[in-house]
Amino acid sequence: MQAPSTPIGEASRLKALKDLDILDTQPEERFDRITRMAKRLFDVPIALVSLVDENRQWFKSCFGVDASETPRDISFCGHAILGDDTFQIEDALNDPRFADNPLVTGYPHIRFYAGHPLVTPEGEKLGTLCIIDTKPKSLSQDDLIALDDLAVMVEQELAALQLASTDELTGISNRRGFMKLANYSYAMCHRQNISLAIAYMDLDQFKPINDEHGHAEGDKALQLFAEQMRSTFRESDLFARMGGDEFVVLFTDTNVADATDILQRFAKELTAAAKQHQLAYPLCFSYGLLEVDFKQFKSIDSALEQADQLMYQNKSCQR
pLDDT tens-digit map of 1-42: 899 999 999 999 998 998 887 899 889 999 999 999 999 999
Question: Residue 32 burial (CB < 10 Å; 0-12/13-18/19+)?
Answer: middle
* Alpha carbons 49 and 77: distance in angstroms, whole number: 10
Task: Supply the pLDDT for residue 160.
Answer: 86
pLDDT digits (tens, 9 = 90+) for 168-204: 889 888 888 888 788 888 988 898 899 999 999 999 9
Domains and CATH numbers, the chain: 10-162 (3.30.450.40), 175-317 (3.30.70.270)
Which residues, 6+ apart, have CB-to-CB distance to 101 below 8 Å? 1, 74, 92, 110
pTM check: above 0.85: no
Tell me, what's the pLDDT at 65? 93
Distance CA 208, CA 229 (A): 22
Residues in the chain with pLDDT < 70?
316-319
